[in-house]
Structure 1
Amino acid sequence: MKAIIFLLGVMFITNSNAQKFDCPTKMTEYQELFKAKKIAESFDTWTAVSKNCPKENEAVYTDGIEIIQYKIDNAASAEEKEKLVRDVLKLYDQYNKYFPLTTQDFEVNKAMTLVDNKIDAKEEIFSLLDRGFTKASNKVTAVNAIFTYFSMYCEKFNNGDKSITSNSVLEKYTLVNSLLNQLLAAKPDSNDSEQAKQNRDYKTAQTAINKLIKDLATCENLDAFYTKNYSDNQENGDWITSALLSLSGKCIAKPIFNTLAEKLYAMKVTTQSANFMALAKLQQRKFPEAIKFYNESAELQTNPIEKAKIYYTLATGLLANDLPKSKEYLKKALSSDPKMGKAYLFLAQLYSNSSNDCGKTDFEKKAVYYLAIQTAQKAGVAEPRLKPTADKAAKDYEAKSLTADEISKAKMNGKLVTIGCWINETITFPAK
């Protein structure tokens, strides 16, 4: 009986202490200091909140990671620094304990905390990454984490780790390739500088990963790997997409590429699946079908910059010899992305190549070059980085174009001349 009374007393005191700690007020107190960049001053109050209010709010953990990181960056010794890093790892564990649904990749974050703070714990880092990617790879968005994991995996394979086979390396290659592709698809190219930088980082990681695996990821090995594993993954769109991306660089001729492209397209018609079908048809030299699928890919593309790229690819490739069509698709590209300077440069080149065919008189032939100059100059305006190239092209055309004297002698100052043929453009000459 005495034991029960004692226990009740302890519980009463504990509850009373908990009730005395005002979680919302204390949290506001440390956050005000934190937001005012008084990070060191916020530490003690934050520590009390993290101990007394572990379920209060996720900000307790996200703020806490930044607060401890501040102390890490200002640590007086290597020992103090590592102790603080270990405190962050414990905080991640606590974060996951109370908020498991939003912290599924916490082990990856723990690993990268060790990496970012240059803690010498290679095996621990790899173990954390390996567990984290196995459990929650689809939650990982940090490009450095993706690259670090794959590079460490390759290093172990190259060093003769018996637990890692060539097949498992290709499986990880497919995984990380798929992750990077999904991240790129989620945030397609745009003129937003931050997003563009992030996408460059993703593409840089893809290039680096391909370089790491270039000796293993031969067309023969990829063909054998994807052929062998296709039946187990034929309903996995992400796996098929990653396989197609891996093959699309230099291995389109492999039969498995066409199989995968047809399967993905049958699963869902998207701009990407249509593009893969276009590549497959291009390889088979079925050019009208390739054009059809490229057009479908462009029509389904919601990102104007990506849409312009498809139209440009058609204009400068499959349709390059069909001058009216090539011009039409260059115009479509510019309609989608007015800043695509290279489209103007290609169009200017098409014009210059057709001066003899489309000019009926010597004046008209030179007028075509005049049009080429104007078109090339538009490239430098649309895309300033191309201005040197545009200026050089314009100067080359100038040697064959109309001079000011020739325009005056023909009494064409301030007048118009229409070039027919496939060009079908009207040129306005400057007044005197």
Structure 2
Amino acid sequence: MKTKFTFLFALLLVGFTGFAQQDEECMTKLSIFHEYVKAKNYDAAYEPWMAVRNKCPKFNNAIYIDGEKILEAKIEKAQGAEKSAFINDLVLLYEQRAENFPSKTPKGEYAAKACQLQYDNREILNKTDEELYNCFDAAYKLDKATFTNPKSLYTYFSLMVDLYDAKKKSAGELFDKYDDIVEKIDSEVENYSAKLNPLIEKEEAGTPLSGNEPAYKKYYESYLLNYDIISAGMDKKLGDRANCDNLIPLYEKDFEANKTNETWVRRAVAKMYEKDCTDSPLFVKLVNAQHELNPSANSAYYLGVLKDKEGKSSEAVKFYQQAINLETDNYKKSKLYYRVGDKFKKSGSFGQARNYFREALKLNPSNGRPYLAIAAMYAASANSCGDTPFNKRAVYWLAAQEAAKAGNVDATLKKASAQSVASYNAKAPQRSEIFSCGCSGKVINIGCWINGSVTVPNI
């Protein structure tokens, strides 16, 4: 037993940050509470843990790592005043960790955790929306870079909407906060997409992932899925509060004061475009102001939108291409390719649209939306691209194959991909028809803009 204790003690010294002059009592009790935590005996761990926490707060980061688990277990079991006390103590523990181990405590992350804990227990703590919003706002401003938790970002915005509805925040403050958090989410999506893309490319090349790569892939995909969920949640929460009837008067009123504020103008343009307020003369004024302030990929794209509105398609395409050429960031360039492709798709120029969608995929292969768009265009062309009734419906197999790719590369689209695949396969020739024509395994060439082929399934 003594040998086991000595070995464990040595491991602790190696595994955690300590000091040259260690306190013997703290060493012993840290070893004791750490073993209890490993065994999930949190009640037994509590007393020795508190002793070390109070006597040697800078002794070892295990005080805070294990302490969080101990207090979470206490909170789960407690009721009433005792529960409130443990919650408040966990908030205090986060603050103490930041004070005693700043290099191991990302400020925004832990400040947001403290706010989320209080929000999740707001009723028992009697916290108001205003108090909770101020908590999240302070955490966000303290260290925006490490305030990345999807749930907390959503909670932060949700509280802003609630305060706006209670007439404690203005429409301008609401839209500014929406734009700010959307940009934050987009930067995180770009970050995780950049990490995921090499793994997707490796798999698509037929090379199995190795080592820790499958775990990393799952980790990156989980974050992208969560950011996708909260983005949809934010849009739902914002709802009609950001319709054209509300946006146009607000931006009209604030335009003169902000027409040289590049961030304000850029966000106003993006919001009006997103909410389809592009028929307003104000949109024209904002786009021109943005281009004058900083000619960029974004401003060139919106100038193309204006030309499209005027019916000058060829001029619009020149601006769209200029936007793509100006953009140097692959993630943003991919989004531009997708946007332009979607415009060609809506106008019925499917061949050109597919070219843009494929370019978007090259730059950001973990985004499956271009695959779904291509699949939809194939399906829409089934009747015009096949030369016989059977071959016309065979186009749906091609659409299903393309839709399946979306779910393979993009975890956020697995459900939509599966639904599309099922829908397209249901419209394709069925087993009885394949049997009747005796064409199982036959390759069917598909003409017109698709210019591809599909193999009849074997039955």
TM-score of the superposed pair, with normalisation by structure 2: 0.66
Is 1:53 equivalent to 2:56 in the alignment?
A: yes
Which one of the candidate residues 277, 281, 289 is aligned to 2:318? 289
Which one of the candidate residues 182, 185, 201 is aligned to 2:187? 182
- In 2, the alpha carbon distance for the partners of 1:91 and 1:121 equals 19
- In 1, the alpha carbon distance for the partners of 2:226 and 2:136 equals 22
Structure 1 residue identity aligned to 2:121: N
- In 2, the alpha carbon distance for the partners of 1:169 and 1:292 equals 34
Is 1:246 equivalent to 2:251 in the alignment?
A: no
- In 2, the alpha carbon distance for the partners of 1:370 and 1:67 equals 61
Conserved in 1, the CA contact under 8 Å of 2:397 and 2:425? no
Please state how far the C-alpha of 1:112 moved relative to its aligned partner: 2.0
- In 2, the alpha carbon distance for the partners of 1:300 and 1:33 equals 50
Deviation string 1:27-67 (CA, Å, 9 cap, x unpaired) is 45433432332333322232223223322444432432232
Which one of the candidate residues 33, 43, 66 is aligned to 1:30? 33
Partner of 2:15: none
- In 2, the alpha carbon distance for the partners of 1:370 and 1:387 equals 14
Conserved in 1, the CA contact under 8 Å of 2:351 and 2:450? yes
Is 1:110 equivalent to 2:114 in the alignment?
A: yes
Structure 1 residue identity aligned to 2:422: P
Which one of the candidate residues 398, 401, 409 is aligned to 1:375? 398
Conserved in 1, the CA contact under 8 Å of 2:338 and 2:356? no
Conserved in 2, the CA contact under 8 Å of 1:154 and 1:212? no
Identity %, equivalent residues = 18
Deviation string 1:233-264 (CA, Å, 9 cap, x unpaired) is 42x5xx66644443331234413541465378
Conserved in 1, the CA contact under 8 Å of 2:351 and 2:449? yes
Partner of 2:136: 129
Q: What SS does the aligned partner of 1:55 have?
A: coil
Please state how far the C-alpha of 1:345 moved relative to its aligned partner: 4.0
Which one of the candidate residues 389, 396, 399 is aligned to 2:423? 389
Deviation string 1:202-261 (CA, Å, 9 cap, x unpaired) is 313321342273379823144236634535642x5xx66644443331234413541465
Partner of 1:40: 43
Conserved in 1, the CA contact under 8 Å of 2:68 and 2:93? yes
Please state how far the C-alpha of 1:91 moved relative to its aligned partner: 1.8
Q: What SS does the aligned partner of 1:218 have?
A: helix
Structure 2 residue identity aligned to 1:114: Q
Runs (5+) with no aligned partner, structure 2:
1-20, 201-217, 406-416
Conserved in 1, the CA contact under 8 Å of 2:396 and 2:427? yes
Is 1:224 equivalent to 2:252 in the alignment?
A: yes
Q: What SS does the aligned partner of 1:262 have?
A: helix
Partner of 2:241: 213
Is 1:96 equivalent to 2:98 in the alignment?
A: yes
Residues 242 and 147 (structure 1), Cα distance of their counterparts in 2 relative to 1, 3 Å cut: farther
Q: Number of residue pairs matched? A: 388
Conserved in 2, the CA contact under 8 Å of 1:241 and 1:264? no
Please state how far the C-alpha of 1:350 moved relative to its aligned partner: 2.3
- In 1, the alpha carbon distance for the partners of 2:180 and 2:245 equals 14
- In 1, the alpha carbon distance for the partners of 2:189 and 2:135 equals 25
Conserved in 2, the CA contact under 8 Å of 1:89 and 1:110? yes
Structure 2 residue identity aligned to 1:121: K
Partner of 2:89: 87
Please state how far the C-alpha of 1:390 moved relative to its aligned partner: 0.5
TM-score of the superposed pair, with normalisation by structure 1: 0.69
Structure 2 residue identity aligned to 1:325: Q
Residues 134 and 332 (structure 1), Cα distance of their counterparts in 2 relative to 1, 3 Å cut: closer
Conserved in 1, the CA contact under 8 Å of 2:379 and 2:424? no
Partner of 1:359: none
Partner of 1:344: 375
Is 1:152 equivalent to 2:175 in the alignment?
A: no
- In 2, the alpha carbon distance for the partners of 1:125 and 1:87 equals 17
Conserved in 2, the CA contact under 8 Å of 1:184 and 1:199? yes
Which one of the candidate residues 428, 437, 447 is aligned to 1:404? 437
What root-mean-square deviation, in Å, do the aligned CA atoms of Structure 1 and Structure 2 show?
4.6
Structure 1 residue identity aligned to 2:271: S
Structure 1 residue identity aligned to 2:191: A
Which one of the candidate residues 148, 159, 168 is aligned to 1:141? 148
Structure 1 residue identity aligned to 2:76: D
- In 1, the alpha carbon distance for the partners of 2:392 and 2:339 equals 28
Runs (5+) with no aligned partner, structure 1:
1-17, 356-363, 408-412
Please state how far the C-alpha of 1:114 moved relative to its aligned partner: 1.6
- In 1, the alpha carbon distance for the partners of 2:269 and 2:236 equals 18
Identify the range of structure 1 (371-380 vs 38-47) with the bigger mean alpha-carbon deviation. Answer: 371-380
Q: What SS does the aligned partner of 2:58 have?
A: coil
Partner of 1:5: none
Identify the range of structure 1 (88-97 vs 309-318) with the bigger mean alpha-carbon deviation. Answer: 309-318
**Relative contact order, higher structure (CA 8 A, sep 6+):** 2
